[in-house]
Amino acid sequence: MNQLQQLADRIISRVNVNLDEFGFDTETFVSHALDHEKMLKFYAFYGITSHHPIYFHFRNSNIAGSYFLGKCYVGRSAIYKSDVRGDELKRKGDNIRCAKDIPLVEDEVITIRDSLLYKTLVHSNSHNPESPEEFGIRNTISSHYVNIHGSTLEGCFLGPFATVDLMNLHSCIVGEFSYVQVGELFHRKIDPGTVWIRSQNFEFKFKFDTQALDHFVGVNDQHQPRGIMYDFVKEREESYEKLFDVMNLEPYQAPDTSAVNRYAVILGKTRIGNNVLVAQRAFLENAVMGDGSNAQENTFIVNSRLAGMCITAHGGKIIHADVGQGCFVGFNAFLNGSETARIDLGKGCVVMPHTIIDPQGPVRIPDDHLVWGLIRTQEDVKTHTIALDDLAEVRDRLTIGKMTFTGKGSVFIEAFKNRLHHILLLNGALYKEGEKRGHAQDDQHISFNIIQPYRTGEREGLYPSIRIKP
């Protein structure tokens, strides 16, 4: 495995150069996370459908367990057990809105060079107007269960369960369980448990108490994850790995307008409604998915009921909960109810990314509320939620507990509602009479094809160079 080790060493050295000012050495994380022997046991795969432009170029890389769908160039990268999608990339002829519209002269492509993405989702499309035809990730290492959503990266380290959303980062460290959507960051270190959203018209900031967060998501001396949330995911990993042992599985019988990915886990008494999308690595057990709802990558919906038009964003976890009509549960949110402490989420609620609800008894969130932070009791609901109508009245500054909002609340809510409508549209929730097709309709007939690494010799563990075009 000499060349595989050389690949890992090169990635470490290049990321370390970018993070030198922080005195941060990524070798400790990589040496404890990258299991070369285990990498040989996985195959990489890519999907083909008639609805997406096809161009895959993998070169001297280990891409064990990855998921490619769309247009991707990999180069010399180690992408381990990742979800890399390309089904929402921009197309030739699209216009990118900036000060002036920028027309695309070719299809956008995901490029990943010299990066280690350990159990990481890469999704959406680049929101960097400087490179509208390239969704680029370079010299980057991410830890377990990170979401890279529409964010270009260069020289970064992302901690476990972090999310970078619709932005650009250069030589940054993002701490565990942090969610960042602030446009652009240079040479910044984001503390663990930071939720930070910033635009021209508003800013939302919240930071978890370090000791409280450590109970749910923490890291050890090797930057490996630990905590209740990691244990919950780890206990269910074996169910996913079994899916890789068999090439041909009988598809889950869902309605004609819905799609259940071949690499999703469906257990118990689960019911799927119309226009529902269940993505790769979603985990459903005794779940009810109402019409137009979705379970995106790395989501868990266990012993829970989702009414219609509910969105569970990447990494969201819903356990023992009743989720009302039109709710949004954000990236890596952890709704950890139980049989004796069930969560009741009213209709139209927006659960902010990286929210934790871990109740000691039954908890009820009223209709049409914004939810954030850590909720353990019904009393916590008063200091960690606000009615959307009340937030819309904010014109300057609002502080509730450790949450601070500045700017125009009405603009914040309008932006959120527009994004949720866009997500529902893309996922096919609004499909009717042949109109407004989305992933739930287009992903029903994906053809999955596998790639395996060299089994012996100096290239052991690496995949051969391969180029796939229509």
256-295 pLDDT per residue, tens: 999 999 889 999 999 999 999 999 999 999 999 999 999 9
| Range 159-164, long-range pairs (CB < 8 A, 24+ positions) | 159/192, 159/219, 159/223, 160/217, 160/219, 160/223, 160/224, 160/225, 160/230, 161/217, 161/225, 161/229, 161/230, 161/315, 161/332, 161/354, 163/314, 163/315, 163/331, 163/332, 163/353, 163/354
Mean pLDDT, residues 165-193 taken together:
97
HSE-CB for 129 with a 13 A CA cutoff:
11
pLDDT for position 247: 65
431-451 pLDDT per residue, tens: 999 999 999 999 988 888 888
Segment (H or E) for 200 = none
Fold type of domain 248-443:
UDP N-Acetylglucosamine Acyltransferase; domain 1 (2.160.10)
Q: Give the largest CA-CA distance in the chain.
A: 66
* Nearest Cα residue to 298 out of 317, 275, 282: 282
pLDDT for position 64: 66
312-367 pLDDT per residue, tens: 999 999 999 999 999 999 999 999 999 999 999 999 999 999 999 999 999 999 99
What distance in Å separates the CA atoms of residue 237 and residue 337, rounded to the nearest whole number?
20
| Range 455-462, long-range pairs (CB < 8 A, 24+ positions) | 455/40, 458/2, 458/3, 459/3, 459/4, 460/1, 460/3, 460/4, 460/40, 461/1, 461/3, 461/4, 461/36, 461/39, 461/40, 461/62, 462/3, 462/4, 462/7, 462/60, 462/61, 462/62
67-119 pLDDT per residue, tens: 778 899 988 777 877 888 888 999 999 988 776 788 899 999 999 988 999 89
Specify the domain boundaries for CATH 2.160.10.10 within the chain: 2-234+453-468, 248-443
373-383 pLDDT per residue, tens: 999 999 999 99
27-79 pLDDT per residue, tens: 999 999 887 777 777 777 888 888 777 888 888 776 766 777 889 998 877 78
387-434 pLDDT per residue, tens: 999 999 999 999 999 999 999 999 999 999 999 999 999 999 999 999
Phi and psi at 398, nearest 5°, equal -140, 130
pLDDT for position 206: 98
Phi and psi at 31, nearest 5°, equal -65, -25
| Paired strand residues for 397 | 406
pLDDT for position 248: 67
* Nearest Cα residue to 33 out of 83, 85, 78: 78
More confident residue, 452 or 230: 230
pLDDT for position 294: 98
More confident residue, 198 or 242: 198
Concatenating the DSSP letter of every residue in 163-197 gives: EEESSEEES-EE-TT-EEESSEEES-EEPTTEEEE
Fold type of domain 2-234+453-468:
UDP N-Acetylglucosamine Acyltransferase; domain 1 (2.160.10)
Categorize the per-residue pLDDT at 131 as very low, low, confident or very high, splitting at 50, 70 and 90. confident
